Structure 1
Amino acid sequence: MRIGELATKTGVSVRALRYYEEQELLGAVRSGGGQRHYADTAVERVELIQLLYAAGLSSRTVRDLLPCVDSGVSTPQSRAVLAGERDRIDRQIAELTRAREKLDTIIAATSAPNPACPYVN
């Protein structure tokens, strides 16, 4: 499939797909006219890249881990990196949970109208 079709199927911009290719996260075959052509598996790859980015992994970390994903084989080092990233995400989840609980407390404590509040209609 061509780059525009991959962008449409994944909801990722053409610019981002080009960046993924520059970062060696995504591969394409060039046609005689220079157009990029992606395998059908590229949709799943882009979705994985997006998920890992959303989780806060850097391009370098993603690039280093993709060969393990592709081969289904990892090393002690790659497992340690993944475990470290999982622990970081767990800490972020805990922080966000505390923030949500604090907001719930504030909402409950401030349910009465207050003209001093800048959000009064």
Structure 2
Amino acid sequence: MRIGELARRTGVSERALRYYEDQGLLRPERRPSGYRVYGDADVAAVRRIRTLLAAGLSTAQIVQVLPCVVDDEGVLVPGCPELVDELVRQSERIGAAIDELAATRANLDTIITAHRRAS
């Protein structure tokens, strides 16, 4: 299938698919005309990529972990033991960012409350 069909089947823009290729996440075949040719496996790969992006991984991280991720009836499962350690680190990083944002929000709420009392 060509890039437009892959975009339709995955709900991902052609531009994003080209970006995924530039990042090494997809490796379509090329026809002599230069057209990209994708297979059904690429549909599944794009879905895994989207799930990993939604989980907060960068494309650089996804390049490393994508070969170790297995789709088990719609649920991504680490297929390599070392992947779990990377995902734990990512979860901890996200948790720290959430804590930092919560503290920032609390500070902002304090300022807003003080303003409302003064008004």
Mark the structure with the bigger radius of gyration: 1
Deviations 1:24-56 (A, max 9, x none): 21232334532223333354134225325xx2x
- Which SS does the other structure have where 1:70 is aligned? strand
Per the alignment, do residues 92 and 86 of structure 1 end up closer, same or farther by CA in structure 2, a change over 3 Å counting?
A: same
Across the aligned residues of Structure 1 and Structure 2, the Cα RMSD in angstroms comes to 2.9
Aligned length: 108
Q: Hey, what does 1:9 align to over in structure 2?
A: 11
Spell out the pairing of 1:71-82 with structure 2 (5 A cutoff): 72=77, 73-75=79-81, 77-82=82-87
Report how far residue 18 of structure 1 moved. Answer: 2.0
Q: Hey, what does 1:19 align to over in structure 2?
A: 19
Give the TM-score normalised by structure 2: 0.68
Listed as ranges, the gaps of 5+ residues in structure 1 are: 115-121
Listed as ranges, the gaps of 5+ residues in structure 2 are: 72-76
Give the TM-score normalised by structure 1: 0.67
| Greater than 6 Å deviation, 4+ residue runs | none
More strand by share: 2
